[in-house]
Amino acid sequence: MSALGHLFYTIVFVVLSLFIIPVSFLKILFSKDSPHKERWGIYPQNLLQKGRQGRTIWFHAASVGEVMVALTLMREMKEVYSSHRFVITATTPQGRARAAQDDVVDAALLAPFDIPWIVRRAVKRIRPSFLLVTETELWPNLLRGVKQKGIPIVLFNGRISRGSYRFYHPLRLFFRGVLKNFDALCLKSTIDKERMVNLGAIPQSIHVTGDIKFHHLSTLAEVEKKRLKQELRLPLNAPVVIAGSTHEGEEGMVLQIFKELQADFPRLLLVLAPRHLQRIPRVEKILRSQGVRWIKRTMIREERRPEEVILLDTIGELTALYGLGTAIFVGGSFGRVGGHNILEVLAQGKGVIFGPHVETIRDVAQLVVEYGAGMQVKTPDELKGAFKKLIVDFSLRAQMGKKGRAFLQEQQGALERTMKIMEGIYQG
Judged against a pLDDT cut of 80, whether residue 255 lies above it is answered with yes
Distance between CA atoms of 100 and 110, rounded to whole angstroms? 11
Distance between CA atoms of 426 and 184, rounded to whole angstroms? 11
What are the backbone dihedrals phi and psi of residue 182, each rounded to the nearest 5 degrees, phi first? -85, 135
Q: Which three-class secondary structure state does DSSP give residue 154? A: strand
Distance between CA atoms of 297 and 193, rounded to whole angstroms? 42
Domains and CATH numbers, the chain: 3-215+413-425 (3.40.50.11720), 222-410 (3.40.50.2000)
Please say whether the beta carbons of 154 and 177 come within 8 A.
Answer: no
Chain segment 363-386, per-residue pLDDT in tens: 789 889 999 999 999 999 999 999
CA count, 13 A, side-chain hemisphere, 293? 10
Judged against a pLDDT cut of 60, whether residue 52 lies above it is answered with no
Task: Give residue 332's pLDDT band: very low, low, confident or very high (50, 70, 90).
Answer: very high
Give per-residue burial for 283-292: e unless 16+ CB within 10 Å, then b.
Answer: beebbeebeb
What pLDDT was estimated at residue 47? 64
Judged against a pLDDT cut of 80, whether residue 223 lies above it is answered with no
User: Which stretches of 180-231 are DSSP H helices?
Assistant: 190-198, 222-231
What pLDDT was estimated at residue 33? 62
**End-to-end CA, the chain:** 28
Lowest mean pLDDT among 65-69, 345-349, 359-363, 397-401: 359-363
Q: Please name every residue paired with 57 in a beta bridge, in sequence order, or none if there are none.
A: 86, 130
Lowest mean pLDDT among 41-55, 125-139, 143-157: 41-55
**pTM score above 0.75:** no
Judged against a pLDDT cut of 90, whether residue 226 lies above it is answered with no
Average pLDDT, the chain: 89
Distance between CA atoms of 235 and 226, rounded to whole angstroms? 12
Judged against a pLDDT cut of 90, whether residue 419 lies above it is answered with yes
Single-letter amino acid code for the residue at 9: Y
What pLDDT was estimated at residue 66? 92
% of the chain beyond a pLDDT of 70? 90
Judged against a pLDDT cut of 80, whether residue 17 lies above it is answered with no
Rg (CA), the chain: 22
Judged against a pLDDT cut of 90, whether residue 213 lies above it is answered with no
What pLDDT was estimated at residue 222? 76
**When comparing pLDDT for 414 and 26, which is higher?**
414
